[in-house]
Structure 1
């Protein structure tokens, strides 16, 4: 009995072209200004091809952000305070980029912007929610590895729960963007990491008060 013919494999170049085009539109115009039809036209791809890959604008927007996030690495210099601050700053930069997407220049807008739309997309579509969890699982694994290595070399407490520490840090950034609208920048990342590590550092590593 003959096996059923498989569909044509996905063209990675098409995916790259579409996601790059969609990222440009999303950052320029915001979530409301993203159009699958316009992305297809600008990328030189048939609309049917796009809709097979990303059936809604929600799916395309989340795929764009997942791609952008996967490009952000985590450095391990052996200084957990510095490394976590650098990583929190990268998250803050990404959140600010999404928050300001499509915003009119000079406008004082404290809304969460695209960030809130992506959270809502995950609630609207189970598959998008799962995609988001997979993206964060990959990123969290890198951050948890960073924290675990610092724990093993004695820089952090032996009984530290790395997942709780990461939740404290990343959760605070998302809370400020999604709920309070307060700014997130390098200075805030430094204060956030310092406050979290005060309870996580191995006591012998905490410098004495002057």
Structure 2
């Protein structure tokens, strides 16, 4: 294969690049934006896809962001690839802001006095997965199956995160749609003008060659 890596990445390298891409997040962001602008689709469909990806970035559907973003883009008749690229709005730099804004808003909607601290959120997620593993093991042993940590996670983390993230994510997604749409349109117009100038120069050069001959 022409585009296959010469040496396959190890699992450790893959995890490292997931947290910090080759060349840094600035280069990765520039590449994503470059791809978004050059997608072969209408600016409206691309902007809808971007909005879908940004919206999903505010939800706690970790591991399903790509599928959920693609599904929303399909429903909105947006560009699916733009939606997948739009999920990169959620990254190590924006995640703390996303987490706090979603949890604070969700806790306010549910009438909770205060949200869990970021450390408490991480601890709740960890406790849930540990409990799931213990219950899976308990199926084959006399140990009781308990779902206390899982109930705590869904009540204290997932529900407020989902509610708050959906509300805040909707606002940010709509804003991203109206911000990205004119930028993509302007890029398309500028690129079309450049291509037209190149064509005119090539045609003028061809005419000069014909006249000399």
Tell me the TM-score range normalised by the shorter chain: under 0.3
Which has the greater radius of gyration?
Answer: 2
TM-score normalized by the length of structure 1: 0.28
